[in-house]
Amino acid sequence: MPSPLVNIQGLNISFGTTEVLSDFNLQIEEGEIVSVVGESGSGKSVSALMSMGLLSPKASITSNQAEVLGQSISELSQRDWQHLRGKEIAMVFQDPMTALHPSMRIGKQLEEVLEIHTDLGAAQRQDKVLRALEEVSIPQPELSAKKYPHEMSGGQRQRVVIAMAMLLEPKLIIADEPTTALDKEVEATVLDLLSTLVKDKGCALWFISHDLEVVSEFSDRVVVLYKGKTVEQGAAKEVFNTPKHPYTKGLLACRPPKSGRPYPLPVLSDFLDGDGAPKATELTTPKTDTKALQIEGLNIGYTLRKGWKKSTKWVVQDLDVTLNSGETLGLIGPSGSGKSSIGRAVVDLVPSTFSIRNFEGNEGRVQFIFQDPSSALNRSHTIGRILDQVLSHHAPELSAVGRKEKASALLQEVGLHPSDLSKKPRDFSGGQRQRIGIARALAADPTVLICDESVSALDVSVQAQVLNLLNGIKKNRGLSMIFISHDPDVIRYMCDRIQQLTPLS
């Protein structure tokens, strides 16, 4: 009987005095898909990084056994790793921008992998690159191969990274949250592609996710981690259908339901504290014809240059968008359909043209909440300074003391503490940073909030907290919202009305 491609027994990993993984066991056979599930900080990624030889040397590692492809991880040299990475083991990271070179064309980056690891000629490499892009549903592969990463949507960039990992048909693929930024249709396509590769080529897939629902139908087995410890494991369908541990039950319950709009959504603490899901009321659609925002004939395009020639790539043409007072309007569509561009055009972050654009009040009272709070917050500033800058602009009548009091109240409104004013963004988790982003938007006393994929990168449990927060703020302040997402369950739950978008041909 062949040995497992991954064989880890009794693995412990710590950084200084902080233990991040305790007594972790994992075996993955050829042709098998095993998913490791847990929230950020549960330790699910560090074991994978160790198995790729990418873990920080500051980490303290002990184990009874730790082998990959039949070789002891501790005995592999840097030269051994250079041979294994890419060719025998491939890793797909969550953030495609860390895996793609910003100043190299997409096709060249994929071709470089083939150039290093194969003897294929230039024409053969180019042909294989185009077929790989086509397999992951990249539109117009020949044109896309000539683009730079910044010229593609987030979902398209992630598909490029997956295509790069699949190029050499490795024996083991480690995928760390690879579908978080993808719309559901593309997510299903990518998961099906990965599954087909595993079954047809006999390789194995180590899949890391925070979403049990995503992995339930896709995986053979599931390991659930909580604070570095394995709390549940078994066949994927069994764990999904009959979860035993409160943490697993909480992860499943935090997702927006397939029907109904209960508020508040359950959060993990409801299950870990033993009380179960809270009593909920149903979100209702406001009955009003008053317009908070009205745009007619919206056009958004980007200039493309080829030599001396310039052309316009239209993302949105002649679109009407209406938002009623107190309403949440959902914009949903696949990558490239223009949903984020529409939100950005409303606040003039991208150039656009229109025949009519009317706001309730003034344009300054429309605020934007970005997908990635880490890049949206100035890392060198304290939270107090970040909020003070907004308040100085939008509430100039307040004194310095008044602004600090207002900033403290804003943090409390989003579930943080006034003492957090002296901290910097790096001192917070992803969910907490998103709360700070919401507080910054609220500092302008808006009438309209635009949420652009503002929960898509969050753990499902943190996502539920932020969705509850947004619904509570909307109710208490009488806000209107445009909610942009690729997740149909989140859109259906959050929104009173939905506008479906499709890419222009």
Contact between residue 19 and residue 45 where contact means Cβ atoms under 8 Å apart: no
Tokens 């992951």 appear where?
136
Supply 150's token pair: 């910044």
C-alpha to C-alpha distance for 411 and 437, rounded to whole angstroms: 10
Contact between residue 65 and residue 9 where contact means Cβ atoms under 8 Å apart: yes
Count H helices and E strands in the chain, helices first. 19, 21
Beta-strand pair 59-62/65-68:
unpaired
Contact between residue 53 and residue 76 where contact means Cβ atoms under 8 Å apart: yes
C-alpha to C-alpha distance for 81 and 196, rounded to whole angstroms: 26
Residue 353 carries which DSSP code? Answer: B
Q: At what angle do helices 430-442 and 383-394 cross, to 10 degrees?
A: 20
Q: What is the pLDDT of residue 374?
A: 78
456 DSSP β-pair partners: none
pTM for this one? Answer: 0.86
Q: What is the pLDDT of residue 306?
A: 77
Q: What is the pLDDT of residue 344?
A: 94
pLDDT tens, N- to C-terminus, the chain (505 residues): 578 999 999 999 999 999 999 999 999 999 999 999 998 889 999 999 999 999 998 999 999 999 999 999 999 998 899 889 878 999 988 777 778 999 999 999 999 999 988 999 999 999 999 999 998 888 899 999 999 998 887 778 888 998 998 898 899 999 998 887 677 777 887 788 788 878 888 889 999 998 888 888 889 999 999 999 999 999 999 999 999 999 999 999 999 999 999 999 999 999 998 777 889 999 999 998 899 999 999 999 988 887 888 888 899 999 999 999 999 999 998 877 899 999 999 999 999 999 999 987 677 789 999 888 878 899 999 999 999 999 999 999 999 999 999 999 999 999 999 999 999 999 998 889 999 999 999 999 999 999 999 998 788 889 999 999 999 999 999 999 999 998 999 999 999 999 999 988 7
Give the chain's largest Cα–Cα span: 76
> Could you tell me which residues come within 8 angstroms of residue 351 by beta carbon, excluding any fewer than 6 positions away?
300, 345
Beta-strand pair 356-359/291-306:
antiparallel
353 DSSP β-pair partners: 299
Tokens 């804003």 appear where?
410
Burial of 328 (0-12, 13-18, 19+ CB in 10 A): buried
Q: What is the pLDDT of residue 131?
A: 94
Supply 173's token pair: 């693929």
Going by C-alpha positions, the residue among 13, 80, 91, 19 that lies closest to residue 47 is 13
Report all structural domains of the chain as residue ranges with CATH numbers, in order of start: 6-253 (3.40.50.300), 291-500 (3.40.50.300)
> Could you tell me which residues come within 8 angstroms of residue 353 by beta carbon, excluding any fewer than 6 positions away?
297, 298, 299
